[in-house]
């Protein structure tokens, strides 16, 4: 039996072998990773970096298009992400990488209730894309399959 403090960092991901098993496994893994204390600490630092990175409209447009090309979001989300970037529903501050991240997550928020694993996988993929823009390493969970239901 493991000590309680060690058990909390274990990831228990189980999925049936189905035609989409590899996609569901990645989604479950993304959700489990988000609960790890070390991951949470690193993500806090990443968010601070995003808040401190000013972003021009042309760079935001490029990153939004890259999210589509990498099949992180589908064409149905493009206009909504662009609108959310240009006219945020909430005050996320000046145009920074953080505000762009919020534009994506605001548009995808309905997924939290309808499909939390997909939301987690999309959020990690978006964070990876945006982190790559400023040279931060981040795991890419998207292998070219649109993460959309």
Within 1-149, strands assigned E span: none
**Structure-model confidence comparison of residues 12 and 36, the more confident one:** 36
Instruction: Say how far apart CA 35 and CA 29 lie, in whole Å.
Output: 10
pLDDT in tens, 84-103: 999 999 999 999 999 999 99
Q: What burial class does residue 144 get, using C-beta atoms within 10 Å of its C-beta: 0-12 exposed, 13-18 middle, 19+ buried?
A: exposed
pLDDT at 138 over 80: no
pLDDT in tens, 10-29: 444 454 556 666 666 666 66
Query: What confidence score (pLDDT) does residue 56 get?
Result: 97
Q: Please count the CA atoms within 13 angstroms of the CA of 130 that sit on its side-chain side.
A: 31
Predicted structure pTM score: 0.68
DSSP 110: T
């Amino acid at each position: 039996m493991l000590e309680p403090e060690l058990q909390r960092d274990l990831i228990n991901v189980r999925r049936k072998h189905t035609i989409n098993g590899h996609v569901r496994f990645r989604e479950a893994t993304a959700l489990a990773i988000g609960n790890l204390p070390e991951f949470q600490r690193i993500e806090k630092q990443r968010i601070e970096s995003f808040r401190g990175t000013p972003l021009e409209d042309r760079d935001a447009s490029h990153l939004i298009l890259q999210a589509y090309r990498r099949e992180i979001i589908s064409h149905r989300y493009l206009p909504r992400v662009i609108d959310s970037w240009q006219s945020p529903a909430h005050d996320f501050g000046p145009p920074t990488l953080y505000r762009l991240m919020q534009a994506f997550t605001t548009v995808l928020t309905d997924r939290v209730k309808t499909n939390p694993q997909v939301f987690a996988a999309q959020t990690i993929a978006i964070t990876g894309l945006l982190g790559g823009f400023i040279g931060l390493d981040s795991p890419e969970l998207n292998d070219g399959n649109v993460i959309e239901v």
